[in-house]
Amino acid sequence: MELQERLKGGLWGVIVGDSLGFPLQFKDRQRVKEEIPSPEKVQMVSGLWSDDSSLTLATADALANYGPSLEKIAENFVRWFYEGAYTPTGYAFDEGRTTTIAIENLRAGLDPLSSGLKGDWDNGNGSLMRILPATYWAYFKITDLREKLNFIHQVSAITHAHPRSMLGCGIYSFFIWNILDGLPKKEAYEKTLKEVQDFYSSDERFKKELKHYRRILSGEILQLEEENIKTSGYVVHTLEAALWGFMKFNSFEEILKRLVYLGDDADTVGAVAGSIAGTYYGLKSIPQNWLEKIERREFIEEIINRFVKVLLS
Ligand SMILES: [Mg+2]
């Protein structure tokens, strides 16, 4: 598959997954079941996308225009939050607590390396959901592995600076890079486990966080049934759910429908899973009737196409 097809698939995957899950966000599984009889019946309701997509587009736009500048990414986050840039509605909504405080810190003059929060309770999925453009950037534009991961960690840390959040973005990035290399699912997964152990075991700050991802890093996640998968806003749960669905189901459509049907933080689980599945299956795998419903489609398309062009140049 052409790289262009994968990159556009991953970026549109964020928007489509976010939009598909958004109406089911905060509903528990029982309530989702009462509303929709089965996952096959999940539909793209309105095409309204939220913070996950906004911050992904803000990051892609900054990277396309200015290269790897944390300041420019942070500036776009501030514009999103206070001016409603990169939104379908003209105002920011659905933002998490950690992201809100970090952006207030930026607005107050802190630099992007000190704006993010570092507490144990600052490990929501708010950086994982928007990290894809940085992951792509590192793949194409940075050669040294340590520098690649350092960039990923720093982009996470603009809002989420706890090592557990940064590690989640790192595991995710290794996996995406293996998909971009063209590996099949199982090989990509196995290679990722090895790379994560090799890279993070030598760094005390991250090494002690590895245990939180043990269900992913032991491969246990591949054996689990749906009732053991949580879809809360915790970064570990979100990465687990996205990887579980991606590995278990066999098309973009099925992965996304099955995952958002689990409710709770459905838009972000959808966004993260959409980014992985879209990178793997490509843009053509995303149902056309979902894409057609997306709000501000031309606005999104312009940013994605420009960013992908820069990545491949
Ligand atoms: Mg959201």
Q: For the residues 267-296, what does the mean pLDDT come to?
A: 98
Is pLDDT of 175 > 90? yes
Note the pTM of the prediction, 2 decimals: 0.98
Query: Considering the chain, what is the average pLDDT of its residues?
Result: 98
pLDDT of residue 78: 98
Ligand 1 center to 51 CA (angstroms) = 5
Burial class (CB in 10 A: 0-12, 13-18, 19+), 184: exposed
Ligand 1 center to 266 CA (angstroms) = 8
**Per-residue tokens: 53:** 């997509």
Is pLDDT of 132 > 90? yes
Rounded Cα distance, 234 and 236, in Å:
6
Structural domain that includes position 130: 3-37+46-312
CATH number of domain containing 104 = 1.10.4080.10
Ligand 1 center to 259 CA (angstroms) = 15
Q: Summarize pLDDT for 72-101 with one digit per residue, the tens.
A: 999 999 999 999 999 999 999 999 999 999
Q: Summarize pLDDT for 14-67 with one digit per residue, the tens.
A: 999 999 999 999 999 999 999 999 999 999 999 999 999 999 999 999 999 999
How much of the chain exceeds pLDDT 90, in percent? 100
For residue 127, give the amino acid letter.
Answer: S
DSSP string for residues in 99-162: HHHHHHHHHTT--TTTSSB-STT--BSTTGGG-HHHHHHHHHH--SHHHHHHHHHHHHHTTB-S
3-state secondary structure of 42: coil
Task: Give the number of other CB atoms < 10 A from CB of residue 187.
Answer: 12
**Per-residue tokens: 227:** 């009732």
Ligand 1 center to 95 CA (angstroms) = 7
Is pLDDT of 205 > 90? yes
Ligand 1 center to 187 CA (angstroms) = 31
How much of the chain exceeds pLDDT 70, in percent? 100
Rounded Cα distance, 255 and 31, in Å:
20
Which residues place a Cβ less than 5 A from the ion ligand 1? 50-52, 94, 267
Ligand 1 center to 52 CA (angstroms) = 5
Taking alpha carbons only, the member of 207, 284, 213, 306 closest to residue 16 is 284
Distances (CA, A) of 43 to 24, 242, 279, 301: 11, 19, 22, 22
pLDDT of residue 1: 83
Rounded Cα distance, 140 and 155, in Å:
16
Rounded Cα distance, 126 and 228, in Å:
22
Taking alpha carbons only, the member of 188, 185, 152, 181 closest to residue 167 is 152
Cβ pair 54, 82 in contact under 8 A: no
Report how many domains make up the chain: 1
pLDDT of residue 166: 98
